[in-house]
Amino acid sequence: MKRSSALVVAAVFLAGYGWSYRAAPSQVSLRGFFPSQAAREAEIERAFRSFPTPERARQDLWVLTQAPHVAGTPEDYKTAQYVLSQFREAGLEARIAEYQVLLPMPKEVKVDLVEPFQREGPTPEQGWSWDKDTYDSSVVPAFNAYSPSGEVTARVVYANYGLPDDYRLLREQGIEVAGKIVIARYGKCFRGVKAYVAEENHAAGLLIYSDPADDGYRQGDVYPRGPWRPSTGVQRGSILYLTTYAGDPLTPGVAATKEARRLSMKEASTLPHIPTSPLSSEDASPILENLAGPVAPREWQGALPFTYHLGPGASKIHLKLSMDFQLRPIWDVIAEVPGSAQPDARVVMGNHRDAWTYGAVDPGSGTAPLLAVARALGQLLKQGWKPQRTIVLASWDGEEFGLMGSTEWAEENADELTRHAVAYLNMDVGVSGPHFGASAVPSLAPLIREVTEDVTDPGSGRALYTVWSEESGRLQRERGAPIVAAVREPAAEGGEARVGELGSGSDYTPFLQHLGVPSLDLGFGGSYGVYHALYDNFYWMEHFGDPSFKYSVAATQVYGTLALRLADADLLPFDYKEYAKAIQKYVRDLEDEMKKDGAGDKLSFEEVTRAAAKFGVAANALASKMDTTSQAGMTDAGRLASFNHALIGVERSFLLPNGLPDRAWFRHAFYAPGVYTGYAAVVMPGVREAARRKDWATAAQQLRLVQSAIERGTVTLTQALQTLEEGGAASGKAPGM
């Protein structure tokens, strides 16, 4: 059902929609739409994409970046009120959902070098007289949220990126970590993982600094001359142990309402236990320069102008942190466009609104497109259009602290979402450069590719899909993590644009990995070196990220078109052939890894391979029947609704009844953040992580659970197929799911 690349969007008479009649179109083919509806849908989408403008995107971002707006602050509430007003002005029903979550704020942060000389720290981020933002006293001091209060004076050891293998090398070199303050650089994993591993190794404290090799001058010109991190720039951020569960630490699995029953802080398993603080490269430099011990390996050497040593040495640090832990309010803003045929079915779109500082890139560049989608949908509503399924637009709060707003809302609405949610569409960083990227469950990957065929790339004037597919062999956007550099990655099979797997680090996490809602994440990436720093402001966006604001428009067009397709399709446009190929590859790859590691005899993959093949047979049969039905149409609205309901159940089939070992909140058989990655996805996590621990009994058990999940998915696919085969086919419009 892939749309012909030569197809010109149809212009047709839309009864009741307010558009005038034009010449009869050529045949229009859209995935999931009957012939009688495809031309109308193409025209609706064309109209939608005509509404967003660079000027309005610029205005929205300017308003959103007028003040720092950390979650739970009055400034944050003002942004909630702005988003609420814009939703309502667009003609949408909108409200604020408030939750009470544990949010810490810093009272005192001291990182003083006491030997071999005295130097007080941390150094404030440098200001420039022409940029008022850089002198705003309301900017929160750089801190790592959820670090405990504490005071420690100790010698320092350097641990590279702070991953388990890094500590293993230290042990091999005879370097004692226990009782020391560890200094590690940002990158390679979520910062909470660094705190977790430092705690595992009995460090007395942890300093996480930004090395110029990763996002500073080695990458290019630094702010304000260029987009990269200057020497005083600091990456703020949460160190909550989010690979255990997301959201409020005190209310796992339930919404953090005022009446919620809460754990004590001692009972909360996601809270770190050693004092941790971020540093700039300027403050890290004298600490690292005065370390002794063995010379660090070549791959551990950063870009500061001296040789890095493992330590310890002359450097001794006095680290003193005082944190104010309180329940504080956060404010999600929720708008709905009610569905006309199946109002219970929901396509949810979300972007977080809170920021560590001004948040021009993270997350304002995604909030502006969300507002633009709302206004464009409002324009369509005024002309008589109504979606078949309800579209929900969500402005999440508290994401930066640990996916608070999205998780609490998803937990509060878990029953409804489990029954009726069609998909969750996430945009976090909407624009930090010109390179489009997306991650999704495999069933949504073909839809993303097809939608980008209809959007123009602002830089070249060609179809966005063409540019994206060309770049897929060269560039990768690290989803959920700061976009700091381009790295090589193979293109998808057949030269298609690559759609990545979903790990964690953004608001799709509770939807996919806890509730089994098909999800995607998208945006434009680039040279973004000021992640979570003072300099993520309007000036940066206007000069480096998206000076013309045309990429913001393109992001809106992709985002909104995806929502329209999912909300209006006759047959939900999921491709389980793609999912089947992915599952078979996941199983093959894991088996090959085991053999390569000399553990090929530890697990038997015969049964799970057979189950994956059967899933593929069912997926191919269903795809063939969907093609036939799409061409013929169907008049039996009830049977069509039953089919679509079965189709969204496939993703739910992949949920593990008891969740993953030691982290039951994560329930998806195929995707979870890695315990030692945080951002990046670990595929078949239960099996793979048990195998890495050489816990073969657990690995075998988890492999059987994966097999059962695949078999449940096959049953659901078969039920969907039977529904179509039993239904009568004829032209005509039936309501959506």
**Structure confidence by residue, pLDDT tens digits, 442-476:** 999 999 999 999 999 999 999 999 999 999 866 54
Task: Spell out the domains of the chain, with CATH numbers in brackets.
Answer: 53-100+329-568 (3.40.630.10), 102-327 (3.50.30.30), 576-726 (1.20.930.40)
Nearest to 228 by CA among 528, 546, 537, 547: 528
Q: Region 130-148: what's the mean pLDDT?
A: 90
Question: Are 123 and 232 a contacting pair, CB within 8 Å?
Answer: yes
Say which range, 77-81, 351-355, 384-388, 481-485, has the weakest mean pLDDT.
481-485
Q: What are the tokens at 310?
A: 């493992």
Q: Strands, DSSP E only, in 338-418?
A: 342-352, 389-396
Q: Which residues contact 390 (CB under 8 A, 6 or more apart)?
A: 336, 337, 338, 339, 342, 343, 344, 345, 346, 347, 567
Please, what is the average pLDDT of the chain?
92
pLDDT tier at 260 (50, 70, 90 boundaries)? very high
Does residue 187 surpass a pLDDT of 80? yes
* CA 285 remoteness from chain centre: 32
250 has which bridge partners? Answer: none
Q: How far is CA 37 from CA 44, 55, 466, 634, 708, in A?
A: 11, 33, 27, 12, 38
**Lowest-confidence region among 195-209, 442-456, 537-551, 671-685:** 671-685
- Gap between the Cα atoms of 236 and 357, Å rounded: 9
pLDDT in tens, 495-515: 789 999 998 889 999 999 999
**Per-residue CA distances from 83 to 295, 371, 556, 583 (Å):** 52, 7, 16, 40
CA distance 388 to 286: 62
Looking at residue 28, its pLDDT comes to 75
Q: Which of 160-174, 414-428, 629-643, 705-719 has the lowest mean pLDDT?
A: 629-643
CA distances from 670 to 131, 367, 582 (A): 46, 30, 10
**Looking at residue 511, what DSSP letter applies?**
I
Nearest residue to 649 (alpha-carbon basis) of 569, 720, 721, 583: 720
Q: What is the pLDDT of residue 679?
A: 84
pLDDT band at 478; cut points 50, 70, 90: very low
Q: How large is the average pLDDT for residues 475-486?
A: 39
What average pLDDT does range 203-223 have in this prediction?
A: 98
> What are the pLDDT digits (tens) for 103-131?
999 999 999 999 999 999 999 999 987 77
Q: Is 110 helix (H, G, I), strand (E, B) or coil?
A: strand
Note the pLDDT of residue 81: 98
Q: Can you say whether the dihedral through the CA atoms of 372, 378, 384, 387 is positive or negative?
A: positive
Rounded CA-CA distance 499/341 in Å is 31
pLDDT reported for residue 483: 38
pTM: 0.93
What average pLDDT does range 474-494 have in this prediction? 43
User: pLDDT band at residue 39, thresholds of 50, 70 and 90?
Assistant: very high
pLDDT of residue 135: 82
CA atoms within 13 A on the CB side of 607: 13
CA 224 remoteness from chain centre: 28
- Per-residue pLDDT at 641 exceeds 70: yes
Mean pLDDT of 378-403: 98
In sequence order, what are the beta bridge partners of 183? 158, 207
| Average pLDDT of span 50-66 | 98
Question: What's the chain's length in residues?
Answer: 737
> Of 292-301, 472-481, 673-682, which gets the smallest average pLDDT?
472-481
Pair 116, 290: CB distance under 8 Å? yes
pLDDT at 727 over 90: no
Alpha-carbon distances, residue 729 vs 34, 36, 637, 675, 702 (angstroms) = 11, 13, 11, 49, 42
**What does the alpha-carbon distance between residue 81 and residue 328 come to, in Å, rounded to a whole number?**
17
Question: Could you tell me the pLDDT band of residue 19, with boundaries at 50, 70 and 90?
Answer: very low
- Per-residue pLDDT band for 632 (boundaries 50, 70, 90) equals confident
| pLDDT of 477 | 39
Rounded mean pLDDT, 586-614: 95
Instruction: Give the per-residue pLDDT at 678.
Output: 80
* The pLDDT of residue 424: 98
pLDDT at 492: 53
CB atoms within 10 A of CB 494: 6
Question: What pLDDT score was predicted for residue 193?
Answer: 96
How high is the pLDDT of residue 27?
Answer: 66
- Determine contact, residues 482/531, Cβ cutoff 8 Å: yes
Residue with tokens 């062999």, as numbered in its chain: 473
Selection from 7-11, 42-46, 733-737 with the highest mean pLDDT: 42-46
Kindly report the number of other CB atoms within 10 A of residue 49's CB atom: 21
Is residue 56's pLDDT more than 80?
yes
What's the whole-number mean pLDDT along residues 206-230?
97
Give the residue, 98 or 36, on which the prediction is more confident.
Answer: 98
* Element holding 406 (H helix, E strand): helix 404-412
CA atoms within 13 A on the CB side of 91: 15
Distance CA 553, CA 372 (A): 8
d(CA 157, CA 706): 41
CB-based burial, 129-162: b 16+ in 10 Å, e otherwise: eebebbeeeebbebbbbbbeebebebbbbbbbbb
Residues with a known catalytic role = 399
Look at residue 60 in the predicted model and tell me its pLDDT.
98
Residue 154, H or E segment: strand 150-158
Rounded to whole angstroms, the Cα distance separating 48 from 597 reads 52
Residue 712 binned pLDDT confidence (cut-offs 50, 70, 90)? very high
Q: What band does 366 get if pLDDT is binned at 50, 70 and 90?
A: very high
Residue with tokens 């104010």: 324
* pLDDT for 662 beyond 80: yes
Percent of the chain residues past pLDDT 70, beyond the cut = 92
* Residue 17 pLDDT greater than 60, yes or no: no
pLDDT per residue as tens digits for the range 316-362: 999 999 999 999 999 999 999 999 999 999 999 999 999 999 999 99
Question: Could you give phi then psi for residue 39, rounded to 5 degrees?
Answer: -65, -40
